Chain A
Amino acid sequence: MSSSDLYGYVLGLGDDALIAAQRMAEWVTRAPQIEEDAALANIALDLLGQARALLSYAGELEGLGRSEDDLAYLRDEHEFRNVQLVELPNGDFATTIAKMLFFAAYQHLLYTGLSAADDPALAGIAGIAAKAAKETAYHVDHAVTWTLRLGDGTDESHRRMQAGVDEVWPFTHELFEPPPARTGHIKTTGDIETTGDIEPGALRGQWLRLVERVLRDATLRRPEDGWRPAGGRRGVHTEAFGYLVGEMQSLHRAHPGARW
């Protein structure tokens, strides 16, 4: 059980969804098939919708009048609270699928837990989480389908899928770190207790059962737990992140307040 500031918690979930959406959207016009292009674009769109709802709510909690756009476009790298997993470069298609499998399974289990959480402080995200739990079930299904097909496919597809799983695995540990304690500058949002199904340890247990089953069915090896890179929830990011943020924000920075 750990205690954390609600604003920071919601901001972290919103940033996860936003950055995952931005990375996923890089596949548009580059996916191996046109059907996959549409599928990845739609998954990115779901994630962007989650990000908008979560960041709008984070802005309300913060109480400084920042909108979803302010939070997405007018923060610098070190102010983002997403896990490093979602900012990793896409790599080849198999690496992207490995990332999607691990992240969608995490999101789905967490959102399912949040939609039923007892803590009254979490009531504000329950509605978003209930909606997002259903959306992410489709993302899990999509990633599972591809993991099975590539893992249990040709020698080359198996080799690449395993390489993707191995590359991304260390970054999955950060998904299950206890949320960082409050930073002090937010006074009004209250503390939350991450207990029950959303307690990080319990969540990882559920996640491992799902992921290990999929890897086994796909004839893939579950990597050893070793290196555990982390820091995204405290604003520490990888080198690739700066380029992503630069591209995401360039239009808004050049033309503040631009609208379609």
Chain B
Amino acid sequence: MSESARAAALRDPELRVPFAEALDLVRAAVAAVRDPELRVLSIEELGILRDVRLGPGGRAVVTITPTYLGCPALDVIRADIASAAREAGAAEVEIVTSLSPPWTTDWLTDTAKAKLSAAGIAPPGSPPGVRVLPLVGVPVVGVPVVELPVVGLPVRCPRCGSSDTAEIARAGSTACKALRACRACREPFEHLKDH
């Protein structure tokens, strides 16, 4: 059965699509929603999608965690989730925004990072165990100096792989991306900031 035929079947009370299948259908549709500002990633790959549930009467409850509190793409994401869930057969859609635990770029999978890189966007790059943000007020043993917040590690050029890159503008085309240039291949590129 095609996706649309299955979705239509889900809406038909006479056909009684098994619950597990209905949930799978809605979950798959919601998970496939693209992030409007990072079109190469789905909201699942970006780590925004936390949970999809299906209640009585085909009511879907989708929980998301925003990347930034003021992310302007959030309204578009909500609308896209709602229409994707409805197309997949949900009768009603509720979208819950959960702030805790807070989203972090650590939630990006390696696959997601590779997709970003392939699209010319340098992925956030903190190696596991290294805390990038922030270092305010951390006392250094024996040195009574206050550390300033340290933002980011050396960023590699997504085209040539050189780590000899420089930031041109902290705020790029969107709030979550900075604009950088590679000194080796001379190409400008975007960088999804560590968060």
The stretch from A40-48, A70-78, A84-92, A188-196 touching chain B is A40-48
Known: A47-B70, A52-B70. A134 touches B195 (CB 8 A): yes
Please tell me if the beta carbons of A112 and B70 are within 8 angstroms of each other in the complex. Answer: no
Please tell me if the beta carbons of B69 and A144 are within 8 angstroms of each other in the complex. Answer: no
The stretch from A156-164, A169-177, A206-214, A250-258 touching chain B is A206-214
Closest residue of B by beta carbon distance from A37: B171
Specify which of A35, A52, A53, A132 is in contact with B171 (CB 8 Å cutoff): A35
The docked-state distance in angstroms from the alpha carbon of A140 to that of B151 is 10
With a CB–CB cut-off of 8 A, which chain A residues contact B146?
209-210, 213
Specify which of B69, B100, B193 is in contact with A138 (CB 8 Å cutoff): B193
Specify which of B68, B98, B151 is in contact with A137 (CB 8 Å cutoff): B151
Known: A128-B99, A131-B99, A141-B149. A109 touches B69 (CB 8 A): no
Known: A109-B136, A130-B102, A134-B195. A35 touches B145 (CB 8 A): no
Question: What range describes how many residues of A lie at the interface?
Answer: 35 or more
The docked-state distance in angstroms from the alpha carbon of A213 to that of B66 is 34
Please indicate which of the listed interface residues A108, A138, A213 has the most CB atoms of chain B within 10 Å of its own CB: A138
Known: A112-B136, A210-B148. A142 touches B69 (CB 8 A): no
Please tell me if the beta carbons of A140 and B70 are within 8 angstroms of each other in the complex. Answer: no
With a CB–CB cut-off of 8 A, which chain A residues contact B145?
213
A60 CB-CB contact with B under 8 Å: no
Closest residue of A by beta carbon distance from B72: A45
A10 CB-CB contact with B under 8 Å: no
B133 CB-CB contact with A under 8 Å: yes
A49 CB-CB contact with B under 8 Å: yes
The docked-state distance in angstroms from the alpha carbon of A206 to that of B175 is 28
Closest residue of B by beta carbon distance from A135: B68
Please tell me if the beta carbons of A49 and B102 are within 8 angstroms of each other in the complex. Answer: no
With a CB–CB cut-off of 8 A, which chain B residues contact A49?
66, 68-71
Chain A min CB distance to B165 (Å): 16
B125 CB-CB contact with A under 8 Å: no
The docked-state distance in angstroms from the alpha carbon of A160 to that of B81 is 49
Specify which of B102, B133, B136, B175 is in contact with A46 (CB 8 Å cutoff): B175
B134 CB-CB contact with A under 8 Å: yes
Chain A min CB distance to B151 (Å): 5
Closest residue of A by beta carbon distance from B169: A35
With a CB–CB cut-off of 8 A, which chain B residues contact A38?
169, 171-172
Known: A127-B102, A131-B102. A210 touches B137 (CB 8 A): yes
Specify which of B100, B134, B171 is in contact with A140 (CB 8 Å cutoff): B134
The docked-state distance in angstroms from the alpha carbon of A35 to that of B178 is 10
Please tell me if the beta carbons of A126 and B69 are within 8 angstroms of each other in the complex. Answer: no
With a CB–CB cut-off of 8 A, which chain B residues contact A127?
98-102
Chain B min CB distance to A219 (Å): 16
The docked-state distance in angstroms from the alpha carbon of A48 to that of B169 is 21
Specify which of B70, B101, B104, B168 is in contact with A50 (CB 8 Å cutoff): B70
Please indicate which of the listed interface residues B66, B101, B148 has the most CB atoms of chain A within 10 Å of its own CB: B148
Known: A42-B175, A50-B69, A50-B70. A214 touches B148 (CB 8 A): yes
Closest residue of B by beta carbon distance from A131: B102
B103 CB-CB contact with A under 8 Å: yes
Q: Name the interface residues of B129-179: CB closer than 8 Å to any CB of A.
A: 133-134, 136-137, 145-146, 148-149, 151, 168-172, 175, 179
A39 CB-CB contact with B under 8 Å: yes
A133 CB-CB contact with B under 8 Å: yes
With a CB–CB cut-off of 8 A, which chain B residues contact A213?
145-146, 148
19 contacts between A and B (CB under 8 A): A35-B169, A42-B175, A46-B70, A46-B175, A49-B69, A52-B70, A112-B136, A130-B99, A133-B134, A134-B134, A135-B68, A137-B136, A137-B149, A138-B170, A140-B136, A141-B170, A209-B137, A210-B146, A213-B148
Chain A residues with CB under 8 Å of chain B are 35, 38-39, 41-43, 45-50, 52-53, 105, 108-109, 112, 126-128, 130-135, 137-138, 140-142, 144, 206, 209-210, 213-214
List 10 A-B pairs, minimum CB-CB distance, nearest first: A49-B70, A49-B69, A127-B100, A137-B134, A35-B169, A127-B99, A39-B171, A131-B102, A42-B171, A38-B171
